[in-house]
C-alpha cells in the first residue's frame, strides 16, 4: 500500500512539473512575442521619415496652400512634415536659421522655397553634404546640389500677364510694375518675363516705373499712389505678387480710377478675388501652390529612394478673369484650401 501511494505521489509531482514547464514556456513565448511586437513598433517609428518644408513666409494664403499640398503628400506616404518659414518674405536670415536647424536635427530631407537664390545656396550645399537631399519649389537657388526644382515658369507666366494687360489697354499707353522683393529669384523672373514680352510685341506700350513693395500691401499702395501722381495718364499696373497686386488695386480704388487704370496681378487670395469681382482688378495670373507642395514632397521621397527625377517640373500658370473665374477648374485653383 505504501508502495502504491509512493508511485501516485511521484506521478503527481511529475504532472505538476510538466504543467509548470508548460506555463513557463507559454509565458516565455508571450514575452518573446511582446518583445518582437515592441521591436517592430520601435522599428516602424524609426523608419518613418521626417521632411522639413521651409518656405519664404507662413503669412500668405499662397504658402498655406503649399503647406496643405505637402501635408497631404505626407499623409499619403506616412511621412512627418515640419512646415516652417519666417513671418515676412524679406527675412532671409530667419529662413537660413530654419534650414540650419533642420540640418542640425538631421531631418531626412528638405523642401525649400528660397527667399534669396544666393544667400541660401551655401546652406543647400551644407545640407546635401550632411546627407540630406534638397528639392526646390517656387523660387530657385544658385546651387547645383538641388535634386529637382518644382515651380511655375515665372518668365512665361509674367509674359501671359503682359499679354493680358496689353489687351486690356488696347496695345498702347504707359504701364508700371510694382514688384515684390528685389533680388528674389521669382521677382527677377517675373520682371524679366513681363518686360521682355512688352519689348518683343508691344512697341506702343512704355514701362514708366518699376518699384519694389517687399510684398507689403501698404507699401504697394503708397508706391502705386506716387506712380499715379507722377504719371496721371497711366494706363495700367502689373502687381507681381499677391501683396503688391492687392496694394495696387486699393490705390487705384482710392484714387477713383477703378476700371480706368487696368490692374493685372499675380497669385490668388480672397482679397484679389473680390477685387476681380468689383472691377478694381481685371485679371491675375494664378499658380498651383498646392501642387508645388505635394510634388515637392513626392519628388523628394523618390530622391531618398534613389529613383531618378526630373531636374525641373513646371506646375503651370493660368490667367483668371471675371469671365472665367466661375469655371470648375479655375475654382479649384482659386480655392486650394477649400471654399470658406
The predicted pLDDT at position 340 comes to: 54
Q: Quick: pLDDT tens for 191-217.
A: 999 999 999 999 999 999 999 999 999
First to last CA, the chain: 93
In whole angstroms, what separates CA 274 from the centre of its chain?
A: 23
Give the integer Cα–Cα distance in Å for 297 and 310.
Answer: 14
Neighbours of 218 (CB within 10 A): 12
Q: Quick: pLDDT tens for 146-181.
A: 999 999 999 999 999 999 999 999 999 999 999 999
List C-alpha distances in Å: 153 to 156, 291, 299, 313, 318. Answer: 5, 14, 18, 9, 11
Q: Quick: pLDDT tens for 86-123.
A: 999 889 999 999 999 999 999 999 999 999 999 999 99
Which residues touch 145 (CB under 8 Å, ≥6 apart)? 124, 125, 127, 128, 134
Least confident of 24-28, 93-97, 185-189: 24-28
> Three cell numbers at 146?
538641388
Confidence grade of residue 140 (pLDDT, cut at 50, 70, 90): confident
Q: Give percent of the chain above pLDDT 90.
A: 78
Calculate the dihedral angle through the C-alpha atoms of 295, 298, 304, 305, rounding to the nearest 10 degrees.
-130
The predicted pLDDT at position 165 comes to: 98
Confidence grade of residue 268 (pLDDT, cut at 50, 70, 90): confident
Per-residue pLDDT for 255 more than 50?
yes
Q: Which residues pair with 203 in a beta bridge?
A: none
Least confident of 6-15, 75-84, 189-198: 6-15
CB-based contact 182:213 (threshold 8 Å): no
- For the chain, give the mean pLDDT: 88
Per-residue pLDDT for 78 more than 90?
yes
Confidence grade of residue 339 (pLDDT, cut at 50, 70, 90): low
Per-residue pLDDT for 5 more than 60?
no
Per-residue pLDDT for 23 more than 60?
no
The predicted pLDDT at position 337 comes to: 82
Per-residue pLDDT for 13 more than 80?
no
Give the integer Cα–Cα distance in Å for 241 and 289.
Answer: 13
Domains and CATH numbers, the chain: 48-152+289-309 (3.40.50.2300), 154-286 (3.40.50.2300)
Confidence grade of residue 39 (pLDDT, cut at 50, 70, 90): very low
The predicted pLDDT at position 46 comes to: 54
Q: Per-residue pLDDT averaged across 181-191, rounded?
A: 91
- Convert 10-45 to b/e letters by CB count within 10 Å (16 or more is b): eeeeeeeeeeeeeeeeeeeeeeeeeeeeeeeeeeee
Amino acid at each position: 500500500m505504501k508502495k502504491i501511494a509512493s508511485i501516485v505521489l511521484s506521478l503527481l509531482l511529475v504532472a505538476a512539473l510538466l504543467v509548470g514547464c508548460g506555463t513557463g514556456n507559454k509565458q516565455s513565448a508571450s514575452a518573446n512575442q511582446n518583445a518582437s511586437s515592441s521591436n517592430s513598433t520601435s522599428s516602424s517609428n524609426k523608419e518613418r521619415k521626417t521632411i522639413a518644408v521651409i518656405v519664404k513666409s507662413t503669412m500668405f494664403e499662397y504658402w498655406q496652400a503649399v503647406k496643405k499640398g505637402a501635408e497631404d503628400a505626407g499623409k499619403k506616404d506616412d511621412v512627418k512634415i515640419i512646415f516652417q518659414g519666417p513671418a515676412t518674405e524679406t527675412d532671409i536670415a530667419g529662413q537660413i536659421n530654419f534650414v540650419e536647424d533642420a540640418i542640425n536635427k538631421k531631418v531626412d530631407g528638405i523642401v525649400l522655397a528660397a527667399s534669396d537664390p544666393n544667400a541660401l545656396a551655401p546652406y543647400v550645399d551644407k545640407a546635401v553634404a550632411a546627407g540630406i537631399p534638397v528639392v526646390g519649389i517656387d523660387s530657385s537657388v544658385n546651387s547645383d546640389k538641388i535634386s529637382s526644382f518644382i515651380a511655375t515658369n515665372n518668365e512665361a507666366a509674367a509674359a501671359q500677364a503682359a499679354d493680358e494687360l496689353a489687351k486690356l489697354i488696347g496695345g498702347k499707353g504707359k504701364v508700371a510694375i510694382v514688384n515684390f522683393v528685389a533680388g528674389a529669384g521669382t521677382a527677377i523672373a517675373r520682371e524679366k518675363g513681363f518686360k521682355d514680352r512688352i519689348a518683343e510685341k508691344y512697341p506702343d506700350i512704355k514701362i514708366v516705373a518699376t518699384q519694389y513693395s517687399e510684398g507689403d500691401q501698404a507699401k504697394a499702395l503708397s508706391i502705386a499712389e506716387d506712380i499715379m501722381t507722377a504719371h496721371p495718364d497711366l494706363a495700367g499696373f502689373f502687381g507681381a505678387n499677391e501683396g503688391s497686386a492687392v496694394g495696387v488695386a486699393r490705390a487705384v480704388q482710392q484714387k477713383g480710377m477703378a476700371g480706368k487704370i487696368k490692374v493685372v496681378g499675380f497669385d490668388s487670395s480672397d482679397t484679389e478675388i473680390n477685387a476681380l469681382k468689383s472691377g478694381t482688378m481685371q485679371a491675375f495670373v494664378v499658380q498651383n501652390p498646392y501642387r508645388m507642395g505635394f510634388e515637392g514632397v513626392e519628388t523628394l521621397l523618390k530622391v531618398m529612394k534613389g529613383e531618378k527625377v526630373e531636374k525641373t517640373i513646371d506646375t503651370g500658370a493660368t490667367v483668371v478673369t471675371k469671365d472665367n473665374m466661375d469655371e470648375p477648374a479655375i475654382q479649384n485653383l482659386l480655392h486650394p484650401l477649400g471654399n470658406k
